[in-house]
Amino acid sequence: MYQYDNYDQAMLEQRVAQYRDQTRRFLAGELTEDQFRPLRLMNGLYIQIHAPMYRVAVPYGLLSSKQVRKIADVSRRYDKGYVHFTTRTNFQMNWPKLEDVPDIMAELATVQMHSIQTSGNDIRNTTTDELAGVCANEIEDPRPWCEIIRQWSTFHPEFAYLPRKFKIAVTGIADDRAATQVHDIGLHLVKNHQGEVGFEVLVGGGLGRTPVIGQQIRPFLEKKDLLSYLEAILRVYNRLGRRDNKFKARIKITVREHGINHIRELVEAEWVQIRKQLELDDKEIQRVKQYFTEPDYDATAADEQSFTEMQAHDPAFARWVKQNVVDHKVPGYKIAYISLKAPTSPPGDVTAEQLDVIADLADEFSMGEIRASHTQNLLLSDVKQGDLYALWLRLEAEGLATPNINTLTDIICCPGLDFCGLANATSIPLAKAINERFDDLDYLYDLGDIKIKMSGCMNGCAHQSVGHIGILGVDKKGEEWYQFTLGGSSEADASLGERLGRAIPKEDVVDTVATLLETYKELRLEDEPFLATVRRIGVDPFKERVYADN
Amino acid sequence: MQIIKDREIVEDNWLHLDDEAELASGNITVSLARWHEQHEMLTQHEGGLGIRLTGDDPLEEIVPDLAYFSLVVLYFPAFVDGRCYSFSRLLRDRYDFKGEIRAQGDVLYDQLFFMSQCGINSFELANPNRLTQAIKAFDDFSESYQATVLRPEPLYRRR
């Protein structure tokens, strides 16, 4: 993975010093709350219901074991000994003290971690495919490009005060695991007719109150032009984006109001002017790429077949392999998901003790690296198949081997009313209730790939509008109600879910999920996944069942 | 009034004329509207001439006239309104404006570094009592990853 040089480290330490001084001035009354707010936000600090919430970046989801141990360490020393992973592969601490944040930052900086631009109206952490570099059929590893974008977007002086937040996601394969079509900019590595690799550029996707699928602004961009094109889009947006209404300030609205063709004209006109100045040279591309070269894989790894025997011998292990392990591009290696969706803890949460174990396991079994996924799980990306059983035993002992990846209980969920100042309704307790109700693994496996995404308010942090089943908390005269949508997807076949009908009271939510599942089981064709069934028959049959009783 | 110009505290020698105010001698700035209205008269002005722009103004419209101005004032109605960062970049990088570019309005210590990297070189701070302290902000960072007005070569060409 990328290693900071003196330039990177110096800028990071200067940022810590800058924020330490800003915090001091705020506490001394030299900065008003209004003046301090945007400054703390661009350093990842929110003020929530119970305490501040501090969000730390995990650039494109990649962590070293050393970093994971440091996360465990700061969560013990400055928080309650656990952290929460988000859909944009960041993690959050829910109970830090405002005055401690500069010290937490300084600790994180010792392992090249930061909270720069994890909130605020600026360019956020760039995300990518959790299987980047290890999945078969990839056009190119997107991670070097993410790092190049990370550097370009960090402290960009022109784009620190955008109309609204700005998120970029990159993917190097047709299977879209990074929800690129619902990002402000989505970049797809593609091959053109001449066989050259470049980027297809999408713009104006987004979730929240007004979910929109991004539109293509350029079918093919040469790699050397990546930064100039991004800069052109950002400059057009910075000038044109609405600043009179924060709910209309995202680039998706700018694109909608001006039309993609007009935006394209403006961007291309801007781009030709700066293209030469910002061209990426081969030396820099190679400099970054050298940090993402393939590790020395063991050519004999595929010879070890004991894990097949162990699956026959131990059905629990077999279930975990089937559900939580996916193929690696190198024979004999596997990718193991560490489920953060155990029935006993909120989705995406992991304790300091678990993090320490995960760091040890990464060192022992997976080249010392850990990845965070868009679905709020972690993964070890380079495990020899012969090591899987030993790995599973250790994960199982820590409650990290729930075999539910991509099942109904692998719920994407925001913190909701329990923690968040914006929320209208709870989400974590409902995720728990769903997890408890559907705890029969055979039933879950029979249902197959079903993605539930649940947000506690229309800001939609859990991306409910692209959930196969989306659940959105709304406030009705002080009571928590839930709006269901069906048929959304954030993958290559991205679509927005369709409303099921009127909102449902909290006490009926789990039953409603059950009714939806039963309806699906009755109406599905052989082996037809949930999403395909919804797309084939529409929401009406589901609606009839759910609202039949009242 | 004191301002910061080129990292030094100096006495301001410009008068910002309201649209209704009578024309004065010496260094004056006018709004875009007044510039359009009194174009003829203003081009005869003997002192220094400056133009005041806001993020709402069509920047490109003023470009053919830039040679008349030795000062462009960019107005920040709120420090979170970042449009004029792009204005300043364009004035320097694209339209080759060599005169003074000044930030006015909600101009605070914590934005000075980014503003200066975008080519703004003078500052009317919202709080003029802390100018000495504010000068330190220009050194918040010793480097920038990006191509900026002060460092036209991006870091990736200098590493």
- Residues A262-317 have pLDDT tens digits of 999 999 999 999 999 999 999 999 999 999 999 999 999 999 888 899 999 999 99
Interchain pair B142, A162: CB under 8 A: no
Looking at beta carbons, which residues of chain A come within 8 Å of B113? Answer: 157
Closest residue to B142, CB basis, from A14, A243, A284: A14
Residues of A with Cβ-Cβ distance to B148 under 8 angstroms: 157
What angle do the packed helices A226-240 and A143-153 form, to 10 degrees? 40
User: Residue B47's domain is classified under what CATH number?
Assistant: 3.20.20.70
What's the CA gap between A116 and B137, in Å, rounded? 18
Does one domain contain both A55 and A142?
no
| CB pair distance less than 8 Å for B81 and A35 | no
> The domain that contains A10 carries what CATH number?
3.90.480.20
Q: Do A75 and A142 have their domain in common? A: no
User: How far is the CA of B154 from the CAs of A156, A237, B74, in angstroms?
Assistant: 11, 22, 25
Quick check: is A41 in a domain? Answer: yes
CA B17/CA A130 separation, integer angstroms: 58
SS3 B29: strand
CATH number for the domain harbouring residue A454? 3.30.413.10
Helices (H), A42-179: 65-78, 101-109, 143-153
In terms of domains, do A139 and A279 share one?
yes
A11 to chain B, closest Cα gap in Å: 6
> What percent of chain A is modeled with pLDDT above 70?
99
Q: Determine how many CB atoms are found less than 10 A away from the CB of residue A411.
A: 29
Confidence of residue A49 (pLDDT cuts 50, 70, 90): low
CB within 8 A of A459, min separation 6: which ones? A208, A209, A422
Scan for tokens 């501090």, then name that residue. A54
How close, in Å, is residue A281 to chain B by CA atoms? 8
Residues 147-176 of A with CB under 8 A from B: 148, 151-152, 154-163
Is residue A85 situated within a structural domain?
yes
Contact B82 A287 (CB under 8 A): no
Assess if residue A120 is contained within a domain: no
Judged by a CB distance cut-off of 8 A, whether residue B105 touches chain A is no
Any idea of the CA torsion for A35, A40, A43, A47, to the nearest 10 degrees? -150
The fraction of chain B above a pLDDT of 70, given in percent, is 100
Read off the pLDDT band of B128 (50, 70, 90).
confident
Are B28 and B40 contacting, i.e. CB atoms less than 8 angstroms apart? no
Quote the Cα angle for A513-A516-A518, to 5°. Answer: 110
In a domain, A334, yes or no: no
Closest CA to A251 of A200, A189, A186: A186
Q: Is residue A306 part of a domain?
A: no
Q: Looking at the complex, does the CB of residue B45 fall below 8 Å from at least one CB of chain A? A: no
**Are the C-beta atoms of residues A367 and A295 closer than 8 Å to each other?**
yes
Split at pLDDT 50, 70, 90, the class of A209 is confident
Check residue A417 and give its pLDDT: 85
Cβ of residue A443 closer than 8 Å to a chain B Cβ? no
The yes-or-no verdict on residue B37 having pLDDT over 70 is: yes
* A residues 243..302 contacting B (CB < 8 A): 243, 273-274, 277-278, 280-281, 284, 287
* Set of chain A residues whose Cβ sits within 8 Å of the Cβ of B86: 158, 235, 238-239
Do A166 and A237 form a contact (C-beta atoms < 8 A)? Answer: yes
CA pair distance A181, A216, nearest whole angstrom: 10
pLDDT in tens, A148-185: 999 999 999 999 999 999 999 999 999 899 999 999 99
| Tally of domains within chain B | 1
Residues A78 and A190 in one domain: no
In this structure, the answer to whether residues A187 and A82 fall within a common structural domain is no
Given A5, A157, A238, which is nearest B114 (Cβ)?
Answer: A157
- Closest residue in B to A12 (Cα) is B141
CB contact under 8 A, B86 and A239: yes
Distance CA B69, CA B129 (A): 29
**Domains in chain A: how many in total?**
3
Position A360 in a domain? no
Q: What is the pLDDT of residue A203?
A: 98
Q: Give DSSP secondary structure letters for A165-192.
A: -B-EEEESSSS-SS-GGGSSEEEEEEE-
Suggest the residue from A39, A122, A239 to mutate for an interface test with chain B (most B CBs closer than 10 A): A239
* A14 in reach of chain B (CB within 8 A): yes
Closest chain A residue to the Cα of B116, Cα to Cα: A157
Host H or E run for residue A317: helix A315-324
Residue A167 and residue A251 in one domain: yes
Q: Report if residue A347 sits inside a domain.
A: no
Provide φ and ψ at A510, rounded to 5°: -65, -40
Confidence at residue A468, expressed as pLDDT on a 0 to 100 scale: 97
- Tell me phi and psi for residue A417, to 5 degrees: -60, -20
What per-residue confidence (pLDDT) applies to A550? 57
Task: Name which of A121, A197, A187 is nearest A160 in CA terms.
Answer: A121
Residues of A in contact with B141 (CB under 8 A): 11, 14-15, 18, 155
* Confidence at residue A293, expressed as pLDDT on a 0 to 100 scale: 93
Q: Is the distance from CB of A88 to CB of A125 less than 8 angstroms?
A: yes
Question: The tokens 């960062």 sit on which residue?
Answer: B85
The mean pLDDT value of chain A amounts to: 95
**What is the mean pLDDT of the segment spanning A500-508?**
95
Q: For the whole prediction, is pTM greater than 0.90?
A: yes
What is the tens place of the pLDDT at every residue in B73-125? 999 999 999 999 999 999 999 999 999 999 999 999 999 999 999 999 999 99
Residues A440 and A532 in one domain: yes
Give the domain-ending residue among A274, A289, A304. A289
pLDDT confidence bin for A419, thresholds 50/70/90: confident
Q: What is residue B26's three-state secondary structure?
A: coil
List CB contacts (< 8 A) between A277 and chain B: 93, 147, 152
pLDDT of residue A533: 97
A chain contacts of residue B55, beta-carbon cutoff 8 Å: 239, 243
Where a domain ends, among A225, A254, A289?
A: A289
Region A18-41: mean pLDDT is 94
Q: Are A379 and A335 in contact (CB under 8 A)?
A: yes
- Are A105 and A139 contained in the same domain? no
A421-463 pLDDT, tens digit per residue, is 888 888 999 999 999 999 898 999 999 999 999 999 988 889 9
Q: Which domain holds residue A78?
A: 6-109
Tell me the three-class secondary structure of A391-452, residue by residue.
HHHHHHHCCCCCCCCCCCCCCEECCHHHCCCCCCCCCHHHHHHHHHHCCCHHHHHHHCCCCE
Answer yes or no: do A41 and A170 share one domain: no
Q: Residue A440, exposed/middle/buried by CB under 10 A (0-12, 13-18, 19+)?
A: exposed
- Full domain range(s) for residue B127: 2-158
Is A278 close to B147, i.e. CB distance below 8 A? yes
